[in-house]
Amino acid sequence: MADIAQDIPVVRQAPPPRSTRALGWLRVHLFSSVFNSILTLLAVGLLAAAVPPLVRWALIDAIWSAPNGQACHAGGACWAFIGEKMRFILFGRYPADQEWRPIAVVAIFIAMIAAACVRPLWGRRLAVVWFAGLSAAFLLMAGGLPGLRPVETGLWSGLPLTLILAVIAMLFGFPLGVLLALGRRSRLPAVRGICVGYIELVRGVPLITVLFMASLMLPLFLPAGVTIDKVLRAQVAFILFAAAYLAEVVRGGLQAIPKGQIEAADALGLSYLQRTRLIVLPQALAMVIPPLVNTFIGMFKDTSLVLIVSLFDLLGATEFALTDSNWQGFAVEADVFIAAIYWSFCFFMSRYSQLLEREFNRGKQR
């Protein structure tokens, strides 16, 4: 081998001349035709009109500390409002002297999500970690142990509530959705009928109606004095809703599995369970990662709808913070702040899904 390598003459060539330095790059990318030149100039003009006022508002004229809202109206953005209300926006009505508890819960959730993203950890150990993490988070939020004051769920708010609602909806909604998708393709008419009926019913009504039913109608049917926890009601609504949507996503994957795969599994003598677990689902789920994550991202943001049943998730707590008469008129600043939080979570989900997609579909890449 070494001989052959030596025989091939290596001709060292200089790289092609970089005639396209800055000017050349400009010509190729921005001014390649009259039309493109006009577009470029327009875009530059728009940026020139929009960016300086934005920078002036957000940075130069911004007020970074103020004793109250009235003193914060003079200049640009009032970031003092965020400083003042940060605690409330993030943790809402949770008792202020117990603040370390929601902080710990958010940390636990982020750690659990991070652990779930490391593929070598996947398996039974991860399930144990999640079970322990969720139990710890619940105990921390609700309290009741010695040394932990009980905090009723009505006071759970802000980022921890958003994370709890979204993560638990996905955690329980996903397996339920897979079962529904398999059931919808079942040969047994009763199973198929129930699954189709459930999926179509839940997908046929807006989430906001389900939440409304759960929070307004349900109490009227219960005997006087019996009330079901408000957070639990919303959580169940989210799980049921997520399941129906995820079922349709998973069904898309199931339908894309070539029939030959199933026949081959049957020919090998695998049972239905073995075939589904070993052949069908791994391929089907790998195929539907993008729409799955799409649904997850949608669900994460849909949790903000609990606002209408007066639970204060991240958005609800923000809107609530805006009603303080000492700090009136800072909706834009508050919205920018929580948009950044929502964006970070959603962007992370989207990037991670791209990574998974590449890894799982490596065999199909050209």
Please, which residue, 54 or 201, has the CB nearer to other proteins? Answer: 201
Tokens of 170: 């996905």
Please, which residue, 93 or 185, has the CB nearer to other proteins? Answer: 93
Smallest distance from other proteins to CB 90, Å:
11
Segment (H or E) for 55: helix 34-55
Please, which residue, 319 or 357, has the CB nearer to other proteins? Answer: 319
Smallest distance from other proteins to CB 93, Å:
5
Kindly list the residues in this chain that would bind other proteins in the complex (CB under 8 A).
Answer: 68-70, 73-74, 84-85, 87-88, 91-96, 152, 154, 197, 200-201, 204-205, 212-213, 215-217, 219-222, 224-225, 227, 308-310, 312, 316, 319-326, 328-329
* Nearest alpha-carbon partner for 201 in 246, 242, 244: 244
**Cα–Cα distance, 21 to 17 (Å, whole number):** 10
Helices 100-117 and 79-91 sit at what angle, rounded to 10 degrees? 80
* Backbone dihedral angles phi then psi of residue 268, each to the nearest 5 degrees: -75, -10
* 179 Cβ contact list (under 8 Å, min separation 6): none
Segment (H or E) for 34: helix 34-55
Smallest distance from other proteins to CB 62, Å:
16
Please, which residue, 106 or 322, has the CB nearer to other proteins? Answer: 322
Smallest distance from other proteins to CB 50, Å:
20
Smallest distance from other proteins to CB 88, Å:
6
| Long-range pairs, 221-229, Cβ under 8 A, ≥24 | 229/153
Please, which residue, 95 or 282, has the CB nearer to other proteins? Answer: 95
Smallest distance from other proteins to CB 173, Å:
22
Please state whether 185 falls in left (phi above 0), alpha (psi between -120 and 50) or beta.
alpha
Smallest distance from other proteins to CB 334, Å:
13
Please state whether 269 falls in left (phi above 0), alpha (psi between -120 and 50) or beta.
left
Please, which residue, 158 or 183, has the CB nearer to other proteins? Answer: 158
Please, which residue, 113 or 155, has the CB nearer to other proteins? Answer: 155
* 12 Cβ contact list (under 8 Å, min separation 6): none
* Nearest alpha-carbon partner for 83 in 72, 73, 99, 74: 72
Please, which residue, 207 or 322, has the CB nearer to other proteins? Answer: 322
Smallest distance from other proteins to CB 178, Å:
23
